[in-house]
């Protein structure tokens, strides 16, 4: 693998967040098809759908993600927009006045008053009360954050790391998020199989597909923790582009998933840890075979309708890891011109997504979603992931020649930048490390002595 610049790019993301991120994201905010379903009244509201969504995006990069901080942030933006608009209107009025004075024709009646009138949405003073913003977030249809997410993705990226023999390389995996302990959320996301009142927070399964070469999120789905990663990925394959290659782990080495991907024109590369009966069709080289796999007698119970095909043709590769261990890779790519070693080296980069998921959860601080209803939790997550893509988009504009590939020491390096985020086993966040025990006088004195030495 070539030396990568992921760490440098990720550091730039941190600098963006700590710097003038408001102006950067405001410029990158795409035009959305905002449906004025609220009628004419929406024009007079301060928090229109556009303003509400923009405020949610800007709030997603703040360490303080409270509603109050979001409203204060928008108050600053509103005041700045008010001044800029007023200056622009006054300049236009001055030009209009000069133009009228130079005009040969003089109109009868009173002289015209050249007064700059601000729109109602800017003329009104913004309250620091969070009620209006809270209601606006609730009114916001989920279709707008979803549209923002889709428009935040980079398109037509093609570098030495994003493609492999003409295939667009994607990586898929799942992770868990913690949710708030409210009745409405527990109805959909409660952790089953635990004793009632055990203190376990509700959890959700987040299935993501990232793009190798940009580090962006291509797609995601959020379901109950007890849902199957396979079922989520099976549904997400409908949105994958033709001529794409997805790197997955052994969990996805499933007949239903492989058969559907082949039918959709999507290729897979995955380890084959489980033993499976197969028939060798053709030997391409040592440890390189084309094989036939028949449909299992016991079909998957998480799909409503199993694949009609009864057999699939794949390529089986016997490989050796850098530490000398033997393992097997399966791929749906049957092109004999692609060497076995190339596919083996390609799969070594699947670990990118493990680091990418940790990066996204840590940078955007979404390991624990703060919203108290399932609908708002999905909006919060969608906006956060779209915001991450927008930041990646900004970084990519200045580092187009630097493909994304996480480096080995990325996690440790990044935690040194985010060491103030501390989470206990129940999902509670602390700003200061604590064992949870009351310290005795001796311990307290010892702690003070240690700090003094430091």
Instruction: Give me the pLDDT at residue 421, please.
Output: 47
| Residues 268, 252: Cα–Cα separation, whole Å | 9
- Asked if residues 13 and 395 have their Cβ atoms less than 8 Å apart, the reply is yes
Q: What angle do CA 201, 205, 207 make, to 5 degrees?
A: 155
Instruction: State the Cα–Cα distance between residues 428 and 423, nearest whole angstrom.
Output: 5
Regarding beta strands 217-224 and 244-247, do their DSSP bridges make them parallel or antiparallel, or are they unpaired?
unpaired
> Tell me, what's the pLDDT at 279?
93
Blockwise average pLDDT, block size 10, the chain, 454 residues: 44 49 63 58 69 87 84 78 74 75 65 67 73 91 93 82 91 93 90 61 93 89 92 94 94 93 95 90 94 90 84 94 89 94 92 83 87 95 92 72 45 38 48 46 47 44
Helix and strand element counts for the chain (H, E): 16, 12
Residue 287 has a pLDDT of 92
What is the pLDDT, as a whole number, of residue 96? Answer: 75
Q: Is the pTM of this model over 0.95?
A: no
Burial of 334 (0-12, 13-18, 19+ CB in 10 A): middle
- Host H or E run for residue 205: strand 203-211
Using DSSP's 3-state secondary structure scheme, residue 223 falls into strand
The full set of domains in the chain, from first to last, is: 36-104+111-140 (no CATH), 144-398 (3.90.350), 420-453 (no CATH)
**Would you state the structure tokens that stand for residue 45, as one six-digit string?**
């509201």
3-state SS class at 125: coil
What is the pLDDT at residue 337? 93
Using the 8-state DSSP alphabet, how is residue 305 labeled? Answer: S
Question: The tokens of 454 are what?
Answer: 């430091």
* pLDDT at residue 5, rounded to an integer: 44
109: left (phi over 0), alpha (psi -120 to 50) or beta: left
Nearest CA to 191 out of 226, 156, 232 is that of 226
Could you give the C-alpha distances from 42 to 35, 237, 254, in angstroms and in order? 11, 38, 49
Phi, psi of 52 (to 5 degrees): -65, -45
């Amino acid at each position: 693998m070539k030396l990568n610049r992921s760490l440098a790019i990720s550091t730039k993301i941190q600098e963006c967040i700590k710097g003038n991120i408001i102006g950067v994201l405001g410029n990158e905010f795409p035009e959305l098809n905002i449906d004025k379903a609220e009628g004419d009244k929406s024009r007079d509201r301060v928090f229109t759908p556009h303003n509400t969504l923009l405020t949610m995006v800007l709030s997603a990069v703040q360490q303080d993600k409270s509603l109050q901080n979001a409203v204060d942030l928008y108050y600053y933006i509103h005041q700045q927009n008010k001044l800029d608009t007023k200056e622009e209107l006054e300049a236009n009025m001055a030009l209009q006045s000069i133009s009228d004075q130079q005009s040969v024709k003089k109109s009868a009646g009173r002289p015209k008053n050249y007064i700059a009138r601000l729109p109602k949405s800017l003329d009104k003073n913004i309250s620091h009360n969070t009620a209006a913003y809270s209601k606006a977030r609730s009114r916001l249809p989920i279709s707008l954050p979803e549209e923002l997410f889709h428009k935040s993705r980079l398109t037509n990226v093609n570098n030495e790391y994003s493609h492999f023999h003409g295939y667009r390389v994607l990586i898929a995996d799942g992770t868990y998020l913690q949710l708030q302990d409210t009745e409405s959320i527990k109805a959909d996301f409660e952790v089953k199989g635990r004793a009632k009142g055990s203190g376990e927070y509700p959890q959700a399964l987040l299935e993501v597909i990232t793009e190798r070469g940009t580090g962006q999120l291509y797609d995601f789905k959020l379901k109950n923790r007890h849902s199957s990663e396979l079922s989520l990925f099976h549904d997400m394959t409908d949105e994958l582009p033709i001529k794409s290659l997805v790197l997955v782990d052994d969990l996805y080495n499933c007949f239903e998933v492989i058969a559907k991907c082949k039918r959709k024109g999507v290729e897979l590369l995955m380890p084959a840890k489980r033993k499976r009966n197969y028939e060798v069709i053709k030997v391409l080289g040592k440890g390189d075979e084309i094989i036939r796999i028949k449909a299992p007698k016991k079909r998957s119970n998480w799909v409503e309708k199993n694949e009609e095909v009864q057999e699939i043709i794949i390529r089986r590769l016997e490989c050796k890891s850098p530490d000398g261990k033997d393992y097997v890779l399966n791929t749906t790519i049957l092109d004999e011109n692609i060497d076995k070693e190339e596919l083996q080296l390609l799969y070594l980069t699947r670990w990118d997504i493990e680091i990418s998921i940790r990066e996204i959860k840590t940078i955007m601080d979404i390991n624990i979603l703060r919203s108290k209803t399932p609908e708002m939790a999905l909006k919060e997550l969608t906006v956060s992931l779209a915001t991450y893509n927008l930041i990646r988009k900004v970084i990519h504009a200045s580092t187009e020649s630097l493909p994304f590939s996480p480096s080995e020491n990325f996690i440790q390096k990044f935690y040194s930048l985010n060491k103030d985020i501390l989470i206990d086993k129940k999902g509670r966040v602390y700003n200061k490390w604590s064992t949870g025990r009351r310290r005795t006088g001796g311990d307290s004195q010892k702690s003070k002595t240690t700090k003094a030495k430091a």
